[in-house]
C-alpha cells in the first residue's frame, strides 16, 4: 500500500471512530474531537508472572484474532 492510500485509509478510520464515539456519547450534532495527551502519565508496575499467566491463558484467542486478520487482509487484496 502506498503512502497516499495509507493516509486516506487512516483518515476514514479516524472518521468512523469519531462517529462511533459521538454515537456512544449520545451527541446528535456533528462535532470535531481534538484529543490531547496528558502532560504526564502515571507510573505503574506489572507483575511479570501474572502477565505471563494471562498471556498463556489467552494465547489461543490472540492466535485466532491474528488468523482472522490475515484471512481478512488476504481476501480484501484480491
Burial state string for 25-48 with b = 16 or more CB within 10 A and e = fewer than 16:
eeeeeeeeeeeeeeeeeeeeeeee
Name the domain count of the chain: 2
Residue holding cell 462535532? 31
| pLDDT tens over the chain, length 78 residues | 588 889 999 999 999 999 999 999 999 998 888 888 888 888 999 999 999 898 888 888 878 888 888 888 887 654
Q: ∠ CA 77-66-43 to the nearest 5 degrees?
A: 125
**Enclosing H/E stretch for 15:** helix 3-25
> Is residue 24 in some structural domain?
yes
The verdict on residue 41 lying in a domain is: no
Q: In terms of residue numbers, what domain contains 20?
A: 1-36
Q: Is residue 67 part of a domain?
A: yes
Is the same domain home to 24 and 5? yes
Query: Is 13 contained in some domain?
Result: yes
Classify residue 62: in a domain, yes or no. yes
State the pTM of this model: 0.44
What pLDDT score does 13 carry?
Answer: 92
By the 8 A CB rule, do 22 and 31 touch? yes
The cell numbers describing 6, all together, are 495509507
Amino acid at each position: 500500500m502506498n503512502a497516499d492510500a495509507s493516509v486516506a485509509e487512516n483518515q476514514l478510520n479516524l472518521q468512523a471512530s469519531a462517529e462511533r464515539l459521538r454515537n456512544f456519547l449520545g451527541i446528535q450534532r456533528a462535532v470535531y474531537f481534538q484529543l490531547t495527551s496528558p502532560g504526564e502519565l502515571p507510573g505503574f508496575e506489572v507483575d511479570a508472572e501474572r502477565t505471563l499467566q494471562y498471556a498463556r491463558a489467552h494465547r489461543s484467542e490472540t492466535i485466532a484474532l491474528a488468523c482472522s486478520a490475515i484471512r481478512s487482509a488476504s481476501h480484501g487484496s484480491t
